[in-house]
């Protein structure tokens, strides 16, 4: 650098989404920032006695940390969602029969969806995490409505077997949340807040 010259702008850090979820990838894409995707490869099994909120929080951080080990200079986003029916964790159904069982249990009831978010940068030591809690009240669905919905949308990769951003909205009476996209899989208000704190410009 020449004497008396000022240093140039610090280059922006890479952003990595530690998730293979197409829903999270689409949501993060709404922010208009460049990012890459990496699979976190984390065991998602609950620990003995671990509740839904604690499970989501632990996995969200574990995913971010696992990917940050491979991308130490990047700002890494990790997230996890667990549906909570009276303290019991409900994960992704995986198939039609499990989805029928989940929706049959949830009809006419309120279910909490814990969507955990962690943002980590190993190089700077930055780490923040939070959990967005969404209360979802399901209608008193008939067996025929459940069957019709599942055949049409096949939401077998969604925690709780319902896609609120699609036809699943017809299953619900109400959604209560302070972060509108949290139910889809990534709370963008919290994501923006943490990315700004990590030094990632958004606007």
In the annotation, is 43 catalytic? no
One-character DSSP codes across 124-163: TTEEEEEEEEEEEEE----HHHHHHHHHHH--TTSGGG--
**CATH number of the domain where residue 142 is located:** 3.90.950.10
Exactly one of 80, 95, 157, 173 is catalytic; name it: 80
Q: What is the pLDDT of residue 100?
A: 97
Q: What are the C-alpha distances in Å from 154 to residues 49, 77, 115, 161, 162?
A: 31, 27, 21, 8, 9
The answer to the question of residue 202 being in a domain is no
User: Total domain count for the chain?
Assistant: 1
Give the global pTM. Answer: 0.89
The answer to the question of residue 8 being in a domain is no
The answer to the question of residue 66 being in a domain is yes
Residue 136 pairs with which residues in a beta bridge? 111, 175
The answer to the question of residue 32 being in a domain is yes
Residue 130 pairs with which residues in a beta bridge? 117
Reported confidence tier of residue 136, pLDDT bands at 50, 70, 90: very high
Q: What is the pLDDT of residue 11?
A: 59
The answer to the question of residue 81 being in a domain is yes
Phi-psi region of 187 (alpha: psi -120 to 50; beta: other; left: phi over 0): beta
186-197: average pLDDT: 98
Report pLDDT digits (tens) over 54-75: 999 999 999 999 999 999 999 9
- Range of 85's domain? 15-197
- Bridge-based pairing state of the strands 36-37 and 15-17: parallel
Q: Hey, how many other C-beta atoms are within 10 angstroms of the C-beta on 130? A: 17
């Amino acid at each position: 650098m020449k004497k008396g010259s000022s240093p140039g702008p610090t280059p922006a850090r890479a952003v990595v989404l530690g998730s293979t979820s197409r829903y999270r990838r689409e949501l993060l894409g709404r922010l208009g920032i460049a990012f890459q995707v990496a699979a976190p490869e984390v065991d998602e099994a609950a620990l003995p006695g671990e509740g839904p909120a604690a499970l989501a929080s632990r996995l969200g951080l574990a995913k971010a940390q696992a990917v940050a080990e491979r991308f130490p200079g990047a700002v890494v986003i990790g997230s996890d969602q667990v549906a909570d029916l009276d303290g019991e964790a409900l994960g992704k159904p995986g198939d039609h029969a499990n989805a029928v069982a989940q929706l049959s249990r949830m009809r006419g009831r309120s279910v909490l969806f814990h969507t955990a978010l962690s943002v980590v940068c190993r190089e700077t030591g930055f780490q923040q995490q939070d959990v967005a809690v969404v209360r979802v009240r399901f209608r008193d669905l008939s067996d025929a409505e459940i069957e019709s919905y599942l055949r049409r949308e096949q939401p077998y990769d969604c925690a709780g077997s319902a896609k609120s951003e699609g036809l699943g909205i017809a299953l619900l009476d109400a959604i209560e949340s302070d972060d509108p996209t949290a139910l889809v899989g990534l709370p963008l208000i919290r994501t923006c807040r943490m990315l700004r704190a990590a030094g990632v410009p958004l606007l």
